[in-house]
Amino acid sequence: LFFGEASLQRPVSPSVVQPPAMSLVRADRRSSRVSSTAASRRGSTRRSSAVTAVSRATGTRGVGPKKDPYKHLREFATGAILDEAEVVTLQTLWERIACGPGVAGGVGIEISTTWDPYRSKMAIRNGAKMMFVVVPVPRRAQAVRDVLVAGSAEYQRIIEVIEGYPSRIVLPRGLKADFLIMEPTTDVECFRMLLVDLRDRNMKREAGNNLIIC
């Protein structure tokens, strides 16, 4: 009877045979790795989206252009690049003119030996409404005019070149100056006489002490 009952049992079909335990573990591991990779990608995408949203909201996305600390001096450079020595010279002139008495809204006179009236240009940039550049030598006077013509229309309109000696010139149209810009000189006596003549002839009485030496 025992053997008879055993012989009547139905054989197990190969299609329902369970895989070995090791195969299940490997499959589980592969599934776990795929899920982990997908989750990591989703997290990275969320973080990237969040950073982009914050950057757009705060205006901090990317690195903007750096501010040029010498932008106000670029137009006065003698070459294409400002070197260290020129920066020091131009910045010193700029600061003295910017703080000079009578410059803002005033009419000024420049007396210097340069071929480019950059002192007058600096005065204009700092609020002067009119500048007169006094040049005693005709050749240099024409060179200064040529520099102005080659520059901006603004400078051509409000910077005038007067050919003549500072002790003899008279400002046109009955104008009187509010301040005077003078290049330093070692001839103290000549400087004193020139200053007296200019004050008496071409400067407002209340502006007699508005002198900028640079």
Q: What is the mean pLDDT of residues 25-45?
A: 52
Span of 34-43, 49-58, 126-135, 161-170 with lowest mean pLDDT: 49-58
Q: 17, exposed or middle or buried, with CB in 10 Å at 0-12, 13-18, 19+?
A: exposed
* 162-184: pLDDT as tens digits: 999 998 999 999 999 999 999 99
Where residue 59 falls among pLDDT bands split at 50, 70, 90?
Answer: very low
Query: Would you state the pLDDT for residue 64?
Result: 56
Q: How confident is the model at residue 192 (pLDDT cuts 50, 70, 90)?
A: confident
The H or E element spanning position 150 is helix 138-150
Q: What does the buried/exposed string (b/e) look like for 160-196 if buried means 16 or more CB atoms within 10 Å of the residue's CB? A: bbbbeebeebebeeeeebbbbbbeeeeeeeeeeebbe
User: What is this structure's pTM?
Assistant: 0.68
How much is the pLDDT for 55? 40
Predicted confidence (pLDDT) at residue 100 exceeds the cutoff of 90: yes
Share of the chain above pLDDT 90, in %: 55
pLDDT at 137: 94
Do 93 and 183 form a contact (C-beta atoms < 8 A)?
A: no
- Find the mean pLDDT for residues 61-85: 82
Q: Note the pLDDT of residue 37.
A: 53
Q: What is the pLDDT of residue 120?
A: 98
For residue 68, what are the contacts with CB-CB under 8 A and spacing of at least 6?
A: 74
Q: Say if residue 138's pLDDT is above 60.
A: yes
Please tell me the predicted confidence (pLDDT) of residue 38.
53
